[in-house]
Amino acid sequence: MSQSRRLAAILAADVAGYSRLMGADEEGTLERLKALRHELVDPKIAEHKGRIPGSSPGTKTTGDGLLVEFASVVDAVRCAVAVQQATSERSTGVAADNCWSQACAWRPARQPDPEPGIE
């Protein structure tokens, strides 16, 4: 049996404030999360040649968490930056008390000491 190995960059991302959002409005949060994935996150992943391992279009993920595989660290970083910039732009002009403003953007997952979410 032949084994093959390959290098990959993994982007781990989640939604900031997700638990708070679910506590405040579960149905609305899930709908907004689905829309965000469909309209913004998934197209950015495809644009930067990423893939969600073991998935196909319309993939299921767990809650707000997302692991994305890239062949290139550069593509992973560019995708993370593009998603962060686009979610920030979407939040511009949104009222500060709206649960999808500021802190509710997709972000690279954080470790106890702030490091990029790409390994």
Residue 70 lies in a domain: yes
Percentage of residues of the chain with pLDDT beyond 70 = 67
Give the list of residues 6+ apart from residue 32 with CB closer than 8 angstroms, or none: 100
36-40 long-range contacts (CB < 8 A, ≥24 apart) are: 36/87, 36/106, 40/83, 40/86, 40/87, 40/90
pLDDT for 21: 85
pLDDT, tens digit, for every residue of 82-110?
988 888 777 665 544 444 433 345 555 44
Percentage of residues of the chain with pLDDT beyond 90 = 19
What's 102's domain CATH number?
A: 3.30.70.1230
pTM confidence score = 0.71
Residue 74 lies in a domain: yes
Give the list of residues 6+ apart from residue 102 with CB closer than 8 angstroms, or none: 91, 96
Average pLDDT score, the chain: 75
> 43: domain range?
9-108
Domain count, the chain: 1
Residue 63 lies in a domain: yes
